[in-house]
């Protein structure tokens, strides 16, 4: 616990703490190349990890300069406030805030914006129900306590030291993700174990070991065709279609009244779902398995299937699908639907004729052990990253929580 004397702190209105930069930019008539939308800002992250470009957007935007902070005034509960180190422009659904150096040290300012003191107030003064938004006229009148100016530089350096650890761990996660994807592909396709390089070339799926076979999806999986009849809404989790993707964390928790479940499929833990209609430009039909819940109900927009045998095969193909093994094949058979306004469709028959590798006996057990080890390393890095983020967040709130 930090011990910071706060009896000598002073109260300031926000318009004295920061300036609202409201300079307008037309993306079609500017030399600026970098665009930042709210989708590029990660909640509770001070640094930007993604950027857009001016060709991505139309309509008037806001100018930003190095040292400014882009604050997401729409849906403030997402806690988006990112420091800018370039000349660019950003979403009009944000505020471009610049620290007043006479009141707050510019290097401390981003941390103040990420404090519970500021963010909780921002949420409280937001207006609107569907997409609550902060008005500058209201925000500028809010009052906050700040540490004495002579202490701010020291506090800023302390917090930046903590943030550097987060940034380095974030980069480590990215590098580990790249390594994991490369290693998984090599392991799952038997490329690592084939020391003599005696590979059999299969044009549709690439190189695989000579003692493997190539089979259709229908050889390994059975289609789930029975649809639910009498399901109670209080014990049913649903999977809904969203831009061709299935995201379990977000979409498996939505409940639908049983009267609206006509034509839905009932699936069980370990079974697979594939969205057969997806928009061009989105990933080619992400395949996911139900592995966080025992039962689920799936929209008729999905093809549902389960392995004919062996739980090990189930796990093997789950990993194979997760790194997008079938994407190129799916793109080659997708057809534009007459009624779907640009949506691409994959028929069930075409889907179950897709080609997949069938490893030789004994291979899967050995490779799954190696995969478990790879994921364990990733889990350790993720836990370290999350712990550092929580520590940094705790430090920020201990500094700015004005409770004397």
Digitized pLDDT (tens) for each residue of the chain, 404 residues in all: 667 778 889 999 999 999 999 999 999 999 999 999 999 999 999 999 999 998 888 899 999 999 999 999 999 999 999 999 999 999 999 999 999 999 999 999 999 999 999 999 999 999 987 789 999 999 999 999 999 999 999 999 999 999 999 999 999 999 998 898 888 888 888 876 545 555 554 545 677 788 888 899 999 999 987 665 555 544 445 554 443 333 343 444 455 555 556 677 777 778 888 877 654 444 456 677 776 667 777 777 788 898 887 777 888 888 888 877 888 888 788 776 544 455 667 888 999 999 999 888 788 888 888 888 888 999 999 999 999 999 999 999 999 987 64
Q: What is the pLDDT of residues 346-404, one digit of tens each?
A: 888 999 999 999 888 788 888 888 888 888 999 999 999 999 999 999 999 999 987 64
Count CB atoms within 10 A of the CB of residue 246: 24
DSSP 140: T
Is residue 195 a contact partner of residue 235, using CB atoms and an 8 Å limit?
no
CATH number belonging to domain 10-146 = 3.90.220.20
Is residue 270 a contact partner of residue 309, using CB atoms and an 8 Å limit?
no
The pLDDT of residue 1: 60
Give Cα separations from 72 to 96, 151, 355 (angstroms).
9, 28, 46
Residue 88, φ and ψ in degrees, nearest 5: -165, -160
- 């069938």: which residue's tokens? 358
Residue 9 CA to its chain's centroid (Å): 39
User: Would you call 94 helix, strand, or coil by DSSP?
Assistant: strand
Distance CA 241, CA 278 (A): 9
Residue 216, φ and ψ in degrees, nearest 5: -85, 160
The pLDDT of residue 401: 87
CATH 3.90.220.20 fits 213-358, yes or no: yes
For the whole prediction, is pTM greater than 0.75? Answer: no
The pLDDT of residue 169: 92
The pLDDT of residue 56: 85
Tokens representing residue 63 in the block: 């100018």
User: Would you call 18 helix, strand, or coil by DSSP?
Assistant: strand
The pLDDT of residue 192: 63
The pLDDT of residue 365: 85
Q: What is the pLDDT of residues 38-58, one digit of tens each?
A: 999 999 999 999 999 988 888
> Closest Cα to residue 28, out of 1, 58, 65, 72?
58
Is residue 355 a contact partner of residue 329, using CB atoms and an 8 Å limit?
yes
Strands 34-36 and 88-90, sheet pairing: parallel
User: Could you tell me the sign of the dihedral formed by the alpha carbons of 45, 46, 51, 56, in that order?
Assistant: positive
């Amino acid at each position: 616990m930090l011990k910071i004397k706060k009896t000598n702190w002073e109260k300031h209105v926000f318009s004295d703490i920061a300036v609202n930069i409201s300079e307008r930019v037309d993306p079609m008539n500017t030399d600026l190349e970098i665009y930042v939308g709210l989708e590029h800002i990660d909640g509770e992250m001070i640094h930007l990890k993604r950027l857009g470009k001016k060709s991505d957007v139309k309509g008037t935007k806001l100018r930003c300069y190095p040292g400014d902070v882009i604050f997401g005034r729409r849906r403030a509960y997402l806690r988006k406030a990112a420091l800018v180190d370039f000349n660019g422009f950003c979403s009009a659904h944000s505020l471009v805030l610049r620290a007043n150096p006479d009141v707050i040290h510019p290097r401390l300012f981003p941390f103040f914006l990420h404090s519970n003191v500021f963010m909780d107030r921002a949420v409280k003064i937001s207006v609107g129900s569907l997409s609550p938004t902060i008005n500058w006229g209201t925000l500028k009148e809010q009052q906050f306590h700040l540490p004495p100016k002579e202490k701010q530089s020291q506090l800023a350096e302390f917090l930046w030291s903590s943030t550097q650890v987060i940034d380095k761990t974030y980069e480590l996660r990215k590098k580990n993700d790249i390594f994991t994807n490369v290693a998984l592909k090599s392991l799952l396709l038997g490329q690592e174990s084939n020391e003599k390089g005696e590979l059999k070339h299969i044009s549709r799926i690439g190189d695989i070991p000579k003692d493997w076979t190539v089979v259709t999806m229908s050889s390994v999986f059975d289609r789930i065709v029975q649809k639910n009849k009498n399901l109670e809404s209080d014990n049913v989790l649903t999977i809904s279609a969203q831009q061709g993707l299935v995201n379990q964390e977000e979409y498996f928790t939505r409940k639908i009244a049983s009267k609206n479940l006509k034509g839905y499929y009932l699936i069980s833990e370990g079974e697979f779902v594939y969205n057969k209609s997806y928009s061009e430009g989105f990933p080619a039909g992400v395949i996911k398995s139900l592995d966080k819940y025992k039962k689920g109900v799936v929209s008729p927009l999905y093809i549902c299937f389960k392995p004919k045998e062996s739980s090990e095969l189930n796990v093997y193909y789950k990993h194979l699908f997760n790194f997008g093994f079938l994407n190129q094949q799916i793109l080659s058979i997708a057809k534009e639907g007459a009624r779907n306004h640009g949506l691409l469709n994959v028929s069930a028959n075409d889907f179950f004729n897709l080609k997949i590798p069938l490893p030789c006996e004994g291979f899967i057990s050995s490779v799954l052990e190696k995969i478990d080890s790879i994921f364990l390393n990733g889990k350790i890095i993720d836990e370290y990253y999350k712990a550092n983020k929580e520590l940094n967040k705790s430090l920020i709130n201990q500094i700015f929580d004005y409770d004397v």
